[in-house]
């Protein structure tokens, strides 16, 4: 009879401690999920590059720097009168690019250099005007008769210099797997936007190798990506049977999609008229290779690659119809980011529960 109270005193305290621990753990998990929701919701609406941007001015207007009011796109007269060239910072097949100044603001002035490519230049201007959004570099003005385009200046330049930028002391804190994954998400968001643009399904044709792809995009000071060069964006209209071909020359190498390569073997000389057209799934094929550049080999990158192995394998399907859409790739990236951030925040949660 005397042993029962003694037995009861030993039985209940462990149960009470265990219940308290479970309640505290559950509260911590709920708090973590709430914080993750707020963080990722903010990320999806900013880093996710939503098409609608409340900070943008009405069509045909812009604002620059700390200026609150919107200004109309600069005309030929305004560009000639108010914009001052500082130095040449780049030159391609179509245009020459000058760092310039407008009302004490650094801007970029692009001018046609090859009159034979004026149609490409004007096509790029047309795309730039029509696709103004959070995904595209900001247009400040243009002059068609002088073949001149004025855009916003981004001092970090194109994505070619990403790794060098991440080794600058100021930006070393950005050199993590999750920040690099966010950049990859920005890139896929741009591809998704082009594939479902207000003009229809557009294919990024200036993408025959990795270096060319990287040259088409700018890195902003707050570490987002903007598409900058829109000279080669043909339109796919599948319902009307309209497909595309990226240029009139033979494309080679593993970077371009299989359907972009000459299908008739070495014994048959290349002829553009015999080359079959293709659709936007060529952009999907290239995503894993561009992703590998973005992710690099920082700590934790191997785990990210493992989680994304299946979606990247699907991107490399030989049959374009079997490849995922850009939206499906982006959704997978988002899920993996959420999962890995949660696991990094509470690495022992699953075992404790």
Q: What is the pLDDT of residue 244?
A: 97
Residue 216 pLDDT exceeds 90: yes
Task: State the CATH number of the domain containing residue 90.
Answer: 3.30.200.20
Q: What percent of the chain has pLDDT over 70?
A: 82
Q: Which of 100, 122, 152 represents a domain boundary (last residue)?
A: 152
Q: Of 95, 127, 152, which one is at a domain's C-terminal end?
A: 152
Nearest CA among 160, 125, 155, 159 for reference residue 141: 125
Is residue 17 included in any domain, yes or no?
no
106, part of any domain: yes
Going by pLDDT thresholds of 50, 70 and 90, the confidence category of residue 93 is: confident
Residues 198 and 338 in one domain: yes
Quote the pLDDT of residue 350.
46
**Other C-beta atoms within 10 Å of 73: how many?**
18
Closest by CA to 283, choosing from 169, 170, 206, 198, is 206
Nearest to 288 by CA among 195, 200, 213, 201: 213
Residue 352, pLDDT > 50, answer no
Per residue in 159-196, pLDDT (tens digit) is 999 999 999 999 999 999 999 999 999 999 999 999 99
Asked if residue 197 lies in contact with residue 223, where contact means CB atoms within 8 angstroms, the answer is no
Instruction: Answer whether residue 351 shows pLDDT above 60.
Output: no
Q: Within a domain: residue 290?
A: yes
Do both 245 and 340 map to the same domain? yes
Using 50, 70 and 90 to split pLDDT, how confident is the model at 68? confident
Share of residues in the chain with pLDDT > 90 (%): 76
Across 16-30, average pLDDT: 59
Q: Is residue 124 part of a domain?
A: yes
Q: Where in the sequence is the domain holding 121, given as residue range(s)? A: 70-152
Average pLDDT, the chain: 88
Same domain? For 96 and 111 the reply is: yes
Pair (116, 178) in one structural domain: no
Q: Report residue 333 CA to chain centroid gap.
A: 12
CATH of the domain at 247: 1.10.510.10
Written as six digits, the tokens of 329 are 């790739």
- Token pair listed for 196: 């479902």
Residue 278 shares a structural domain with residue 248: yes
- Say yes or no: 257 and 331 in one domain: yes
Is pLDDT at 46 greater than 50 in this prediction?
no
**31 inside domain:** no
Statement to judge: residues 130 and 167 lie in one domain: no
227 domain residue, yes or no: yes
Give the Cα separation of 94 and 47 in Å (integer). Answer: 31
- State the average pLDDT over residues 10-15: 50
Residues 279 and 304 in one domain: yes
The verdict on 133 and 162 lying in the same domain is no
Which of 110, 133, 152 is the last residue before a domain boundary? 152
CB distance 226 to 218 below 8 Å: yes
Based on the domain organization, do 301 and 202 belong to the same domain? yes
pLDDT for the residue numbered 345 = 74
In a domain, 257, yes or no: yes
Looking at the domain assignment, is residue 237 inside a domain? yes
Q: Which pLDDT does position 228 carry in this prediction?
A: 95
Produce one character per residue of 210-222: b if its CB has 16 or more CB atoms within 10 Å, e if not.
Answer: beebbbbbbbeee
Look at the chain and report how many structural domains it folds into.
Answer: 2
Q: What is the pLDDT of residue 347?
A: 64
Q: What pLDDT shows up at residue 34? A: 52
Q: Report d(CA 100, CA 34) in Å as an integer.
A: 46
Judge if 297 and 172 occupy the same domain.
Answer: yes
Rounded mean pLDDT of 31-43? Answer: 53
Give pTM, 2 decimals.
Answer: 0.85
Residue with tokens 């100044």: 101
Q: pLDDT band for 39, please (50, 70, 90 cuts).
A: low
pLDDT mean over 105-121:
94
**Arithmetic mean of pLDDT, 217-242:** 95
pLDDT tops 50 at residue 50: no
- pLDDT tens digits for 292-345? 999 999 999 999 999 999 999 999 999 999 999 999 999 999 999 999 998 887
pLDDT at 91 over 60: yes
Specify whether 277 is located in the same domain as 302.
yes
Q: Is the pLDDT of residue 66 over 90?
A: no
């Amino acid at each position: 009879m005397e042993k029962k109270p003694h037995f009861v005193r030993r039985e209940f305290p462990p149960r009470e401690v265990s219940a308290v621990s479970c309640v505290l753990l559950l509260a911590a998990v709920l708090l973590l999920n709430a914080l993750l929701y707020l963080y990722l919701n903010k990320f999806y609406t900013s880093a996710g590059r939503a098409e609608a941007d409340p900070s943008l001015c009405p069509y045909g207007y812009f604002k620059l720097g700390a200026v609150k009011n919107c200004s109309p796109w600069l005309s030929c007269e305004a560009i000639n009168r108010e914009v001052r060239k500082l130095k040449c910072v780049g030159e391609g097949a179509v245009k020459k690019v000058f760092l310039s100044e407008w009302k004490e603001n650094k801007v970029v002035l692009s001018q046609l250099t090859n009159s034979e490519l004026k149609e490409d230049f004007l096509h790029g201007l047309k795309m730039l005007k029509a696709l103004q959004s959070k995904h595209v570099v900001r247009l400040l003005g243009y002059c068609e008769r002088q073949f001149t385009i004025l855009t916003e200046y981004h001092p970090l330049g194109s994505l070619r210099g990403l790794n060098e930028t991440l080794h600058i002391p100021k930006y070393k804190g950005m050199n993590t797997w999750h920040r690099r994954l966010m950049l990859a998400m920005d890139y896929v968001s741009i591809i998704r936007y082009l594939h479902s643009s207000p003009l229809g399904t557009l294919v990024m044709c200036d993408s025959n190798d990795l270096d060319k792809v990287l040259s088409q995009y700018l890195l902003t000071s707050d570490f987002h990506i903007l598409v900058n060069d829109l000279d080669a964006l043909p339109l796919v209209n599948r319902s009307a049977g309209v497909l595309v071909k990226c240029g009139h020359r033979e494309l080679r190498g593993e970077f371009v999609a299989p359907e972009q390569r000459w299908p008739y073997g070495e014994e048959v000389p290349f002829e553009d008229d015999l080359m079959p057209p293709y659709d936007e799934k060529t952009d999907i094929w290239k995503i894993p290779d561009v992703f590998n550049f973005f992710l690099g080999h920082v700590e934790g990158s191997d785990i990210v690659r493992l989680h994304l192995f299946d979606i990247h394998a699907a991107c490399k399907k030989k049959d374009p119809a079997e490849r995922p859409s850009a939206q499906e790739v982006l959704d997978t990236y988002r899920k993996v980011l959420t999962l890995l951030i949660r696991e990094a925040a509470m690495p022992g949660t699953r075992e404790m529960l």
